[in-house]
Structure 1
């Protein structure tokens, strides 16, 4: 079982390059950071996790690709990933270039976790109607994959174009979100895996995901429980389901808060 970690990287938290070094030294496989471009003050949308107030780290989140460049530069083997990238809120040409550059410079260590977003006003500020966010995210991921994989790429929204550097290998794309036919259809069509947040309910969802992949004529998608609170029993349970990787949630805080938790998780890595 490969074990990675994720933390809200912010201007107040442990520097991401220090966390990356500490994670690699302790044998972790990967480091993921999330994305929020901004948080509108109106707060029309209630917090997705049901909190009374949105935690402060949401409005202080670092740009994930810039942060991961520091993580990659500070390490040798640690995989670096977005968990998650809000693809509907990003220009696909610019984002494809940034991800390809990061993968090229890191020696092929990039993983792209993608989400559709839950904050209505944040999404709408990017000119994307909330009801179209899945459609836009799909379009943008497919456009990025074309730019990564094709020497001359053409897609809806841009004419035949060159774009280098190419990634070492096309970075794996995993979709985050709750189990359901819409999500599993997206995964089967254009992603490599599913990142269920928290990791609950996976066993019951696996048959539907497998069926969606079979209908698409492709192998079973990878399943990566994300933001979980790991225990030896939980990791053994995941392994029994055929899962090979899990990502543990770290608190967003300074080193004296983060490192003791990282040490506890390291005993399970």
Structure 2
């Protein structure tokens, strides 16, 4: 089992360069970082971490994930570099396709594009996103990006996003077609539809309830004509223990993303020391 990590990297935490070097030296498999462009002060969207809790400070200070991961890519050779997740609805898809393909190319094909739909309605509103149709918008934008990543110039016209004419767009993702793509979100038919349409797998937050949810996702995956052996399940932002990781392994999970605290260098390295035992679980 591959053991990766995620962290809210901010202007107050350990740097991407120091963390990436430490992860590679210690045998961890990857680094994933989240995205928020901004957090409007007048916010009515409830914090997904629970109830009436105040939104943690790190949400308001996150680095741009592609810039942070580019720094990490420049000082490493092996670890996966992932977004957890990219708020696709809040991006111009032509620009995002270029950013993702460039990072994937420069890192030697190490990008994992985590795709999500967002929870902060106020943030999305400022980007002009129609909340009720944001999932359909994401699907369209993924279709447009995949047209730009195609080997031959390919047109795309979506219902909820703009069109792109057949174009020369380089670099291309290293593996061809698209970088590795994982779809985040809560289990359910809508989520499964997106995973099967354009994903390589699912990135469930916390990883709870997999024994209940995975049979349906696997059935839908096969119904969509996808290779059953190709479906990837990557539990995200996990606080680990040996029993939990053993359970994931029983469910066919081959990568788990452990949560790091949004702290300074000393705090984060101390947590990596504690996680070291898990980094040796597998290659």
Tell me by how many angstroms 1:6 deviates. Answer: 0.2
Supply the distance in 2 between the matched residues of 1:4 and 1:266 (Cα, whole angstroms): 11
Match of 1:175 among 171, 178, 183: 183
Supply the distance in 2 between the matched residues of 1:145 and 1:17 (Cα, whole angstroms): 30
Tell me by how many angstroms 1:151 deviates. Answer: 2.3
Supply the distance in 2 between the matched residues of 1:114 and 1:154 (Cα, whole angstroms): 22
Tell me by how many angstroms 1:4 deviates. Answer: 0.1
SS in 1 for 2:278: coil
Supply the distance in 1 between the matched residues of 2:133 and 2:152 (Cα, whole angstroms): 30
Match of 1:200 among 197, 203, 208: 208
Deviations 1:119-152 (A, max 9, x none): 0111111111111110111111121122112321
SS in 2 for 1:227: coil
* Two-structure CA RMSD over aligned residues (Å): 1.0
Mapping for residues 254-265 of structure 1, pairs under 5 Å: 254-265=264-275
Aligned residues, how many? Answer: 269
* Structure 2 partner of 1:30: 30
SS in 2 for 1:252: coil
Supply the distance in 2 between the matched residues of 1:65 and 1:3 (Cα, whole angstroms): 21
* Structure 2 partner of 1:226: 236
Mapping for residues 99-248 of structure 1, pairs under 5 Å: 99-156=100-157, 157-169=163-175, 170-220=178-228, 221-248=231-258
TM-score (norm 2): 0.93
TM-score (norm 1): 0.98
Mapping for residues 12-51 of structure 1, pairs under 5 Å: 12-50=12-50
